[in-house]
Structure 1
Amino acid sequence: MAGAVRAAGAVRAAGSYLFDNGSAHAAGQHRCLAAWLDPVSLGALRAGGVGPGMRCLDVGTGAGSVALWLADRVAPGGSVLATDLAPLPLPARPGLTVRQHDVVRDELPEAAFDLVHVRLVLSHLPEREAVLARLFAALRPGGVLHLLEFDAEYAPVLTAPDGRARELYERYQQAKLRAFRARGSHQGWGRECADALTGAGFTGVAAQVRIDLLAPGTPQREMQLHNTWHLREALLREGLTEDELAELRGLFADPRFLACSNVVYAVRGRRP
């Protein structure tokens, strides 16, 4: 099965995805996302039924926390193919294969998987509808797609030290959105993805919605701090200054600042 997926002949141009796995800040980003989102993803996977012998695909695996969890659950006899444009080394597990793969351009085997998991990938792809159709085809009849996406256009401030801090945070959010839109990303796609699954032919589409707080000590808040470094060049291009980025880092350490996280949508659908 894994051999049917070829390595990407040419990874997309460097810098096409703002959260580059090669960045010195990628490890912090992955750690925050896992602490925030793994409970959501793993809860949805448990509810959907994951067991020995299943064949799974994890697209955009990142640091691999979900792929490793799946590998433990589908053993013995199951398999997990973890793919990424720039895959990171993962600890060995029976049945786990890691491949460099571009889900837009590279082949996927048809009707090969019982389960496909995709987290925070499709919203970044202008070709998201075509990719969704390819993932549908990669599932065997009865197989399930688990999709997790943000509505990153929703991120209101609840409390701030003063009006200047509130305005700066709102400009920071808008600068991020502009930077992603320039790369073809749709940061509000989370609220549309359930409808997209239905349109792609999936049945039994179900969704869970979650909002958290950017509160002191949370991975959601720490991730914003990482973003000021990880996305530094993009944010500067979008009009923020080095002094303002430093001011934001101070704001994220201020207990008087509180905001809502992006909305998290965990959606699943079945191939008939």
Structure 2
Amino acid sequence: MTLAPAYLFDNTGSHAAEQHRCLAAWLDPITVERLVGAGVRPGMDCLDIGTGAGSIAVWLADRVGPAGRVLATDLVPLPLPERPNLDVRRHDIVHDELPDGGFDLIHARLVLSHLPEREAVLRRLLTALRPGGVLHLLEFDAEYAPVLLAPSARAKELFERFQRAKLQAFRERGSHQGWGRECAAALRRAGFAGVEAVPYVTALTPGSPGLQLQIHNTRHLREPLLRAGLTEDELAELREILVHPDFRACSNLVHTVQGRRP
């Protein structure tokens, strides 16, 4: 998804498809579990913000059925699998209008942390829900990603430098990669009721979607990583480390947060 010209992950770039694939493989099971728990059912009207490749929008469309509808939005929408109750539109959640009281459920994954206006956006989303409607967010605490096992001290140090370089690149663009641990409190300040927060952590092991995403980021984020001080040789070395059978790390903390409009 593309949130602003300076956003690091661009739907129009050559790396976008692999970025979306890794995120969906890792995060869709978590998202679906929480949305089922939130009571997504036939007939609901849903909004999926920053839909990207649309895996959750399509799941929602199938879940709410022909009596429901799903509006999937992004700054640069991609072609999504067709569903008769799925509408895909270009939309800027910061500046473009939303219908007041129009949705039973709003879903946004890894969107608001990239927006300096995130708390104002939360207040807009509150008014876009019907009374009793639910907002579901998934956000990272990307400042948490400890190495558990590495083939060498050098490997551990290089992975930690890689994580710091990514955080620096995001901060330079106004992104708050620790916001996952703060968004429940932000929902309460915005006026949401019944706020619930459930954190998840997974193991980054060779072949896992979360670790495949890290390998992909060494290429997708090549330019900002080089500007942050890593070298081409170090990125190549890092890719070898991330497929080594002795490498293990914790994923970023994945925070799923829900609140409803009173």
Partner of 1:41: helix, strand, or coil? helix
Give the unaligned 5+ runs of structure 2.
Answer: none
**Separation of aligned partners in 2, 1:179 and 1:226:** 16
Q: Distance in 1 between matches of 2:245 and 2:97?
A: 48
**Which one of the candidate residues 68, 91, 97 is aligned to 2:87?**
97
Matched, 1:116 2:116: no
Q: 1:174 is matched with which residue?
A: 164
CA contact (8 A) 1:157 1:166 kept: yes
Whole-Å separation in 2 of the counterparts to 1:133 and 1:39: 28
Does 2:182 correspond to 1:192?
Answer: yes
1:54 aligns with 2:44: yes
Alignment of 1:256-271 (within 5 A): 256-271=246-261
Distance change in 2, residues 1:45/1:237 (3 Å): same
For 2:189 and 2:4, the matched residues in 1 are separated by 30
Q: For residues 219 and 57 of structure 1, do their structure 2 counterparts lie closer, same or farther at Cα, with a shift above 3 Å needed? A: same
Residue of 224, 233, 256 corresponding to 1:234 = 224
SS at match of 1:115: strand
The Cα shift of 1:75 comes to 1.3
Q: What's the secondary structure of 1:126's corresponding residue?
A: coil
Return the TM-score normalized by structure 1: 0.94
Contact 2:104/2:130, CA 8 A, preserved across alignment? yes
Q: Which residue of 2 aligns with 1:4?
A: none
Shift in Å, 1:187: 0.3
Contact 1:75 1:94 (8 Å CA) reproduced: no
SS in structure 2 at match of 1:227: helix
* 3-state SS in 2 of match to 1:264: strand
Structure 1 counterpart of 2:127, from 137, 141, 146 = 137
Q: TM-score by structure 2 length?
A: 0.97
**Cα distance, 1:12–1:209 mapped onto 2, change above 3 Å:** closer
Aligned mate of 1:146, from 136, 139, 142: 136
Question: 1:158, 1:56 → 2: CA distance?
Answer: 39
Report how far residue 23 of structure 1 moved.
1.6
* 2:236 is the counterpart of 1:246: yes
Any stretches of 5+ residues in structure 1 without a counterpart? 1-10
Is residue 80 from structure 1 mapped to residue 70 from structure 2 by the alignment?
yes
Deviation per CA, 1:24-59: give whole Å up to 9, x if none: 111111111111110111111101111121110000
Give the equivalent residue in structure 2 for 1:38.
Answer: 28
SS of the equivalent of 1:27 reads: helix
Distance in 2 separating the partners of 1:172 and 1:66? 29
Give the C-alpha shift of residue 13 in structure 1.
5.5
- Larger CA deviation: 249-258 vs 145-154: 249-258
Which residue is equivalent to 1:223?
213
Identity of aligned residues (%): 69
Q: Is the 8 A contact 1:23 1:230 kept in 2?
A: no
Deviation string 1:170-193 (CA, Å, 9 cap, x unpaired) is 110000000000000000000011
Task: Give the Cα separation in 1 of the matches to 2:140 and 2:258.
Answer: 14
Give the aligned length. Answer: 261
Confirm or deny that 1:29 pairs with 2:22: no
| SS, match of residue 20 in structure 1 | coil
2:40 maps to a residue whose letter is V
SS at match of 2:133: strand
Letter matched to residue 225 of structure 2: L
Q: Which amino acid aligns with 2:66?
A: P
